[in-house]
Structure 1
């Protein structure tokens, strides 16, 4: 099947080693058969990745580090990718979650659209099958020749290249230390649980914000996951089209259960000590019994 050509905006905010990216990319018709095509957020992000990727081999400076980029690769980070995603959107349509767009990027990786090599400073994104769909035969031949030249290069050049690649592989985004993103993070576990019960490919920005609010409540993760199952299990749909469609519905149920757990009635009655006699009254009573005159009378 022949691929269509999708023209990228020549004024797009994309850079290749300090050179403004221009030109076009190819978009295969079979994308329409993929679930991404029917998901506006994932489709927008995928097109951003395609138009951001480099068309040629080059070196790019990231801080004081040199990164070797091949065709189909680009450098980004969780905040950079979110900024690119939001650019041009109305404020009401922009994604406010700090790491939501990056999680969508990881979703594209799970779907085998791309791969991500993470570091403490940045991520290198590689478009899978870039050469197959984006390069002409002559370009592929040129790429093969370039790779052969790299193999023939001096040991010193090879050591520098290996060092740069190693730096990219061995470190992760610097924000990761403050808010790790991964399959074991609380957010990811809650998202996976929600999607497994609700069904669907990904959460919405509003869902992401509701999950983040729940996490901020410091509710134990095991309680959240247990209550998600409980809410779905006890939900009684009114008709065949009815169902739990947003995490905000679960948010209310989780908060209700958390409040009830922390405000359970106690079975121990309050201890009330017996009222003791006033010291002066006790002294007067003693004086009366002993026939002792008490007071000024």
Structure 2
């Protein structure tokens, strides 16, 4: 995900601000919400989302919320869902639950997120001095650079992009959860998943194949598809060089001729 969300200053006056867990969940909801009309595919069914809406479920919410969190601090899926319902009771969200997913709507999305603020910022800039304006431009440029280069696509989004399925199987959830518990971050998991799908011959990825790639990456100190390609190229070059070396060695030591015994007899007789 990329882009920006707005957070109104009056949030400090709300009940959410006094609860760190609810505040984190609220910011997560704002970050997940669509900023324009879009279509998601859930269990082979298209779901049309309006600005301010997103699709989730208990297990998907648990995975996203607990990403990068220490095991002892992870929150259960039932607890997270109760917090989500609490935000709904506050009037921040509207939740419509279906058989295998829920559509969450951020209430008053357009009021807080779609209002343009460029003109007030321009008016404020007129009051500043020229050096301050220059510094501001540099800072904005730096922020844009950072946001472009350091954004990591969430694992759940990568899964949906590759499979067009919203719910990741429980065995894969456990697989990636154990990786994160062992210190491997979200970026490692997303790169590993994409590597598996891109290199699979039939486009189908199973646990044994994922585990094989995981073991190879860990053994070789690989953390991205780029490093994996570089390692494959290095091994291919080494194999090619080794093959050429073997050819040279075999060429410098030809097999003995079937007439070698005649040469030996002649040397003994002095002829």
TM-score range, shorter chain: 0.3 to 0.5
Normalising to structure 1: TM-score of the pair? 0.38
Structure with higher RCO (Cα < 8 A, 6+ apart): 2
Who wins on radius of gyration, i.e. which is larger? 1
Which structure has the highest helix share of the two? 2
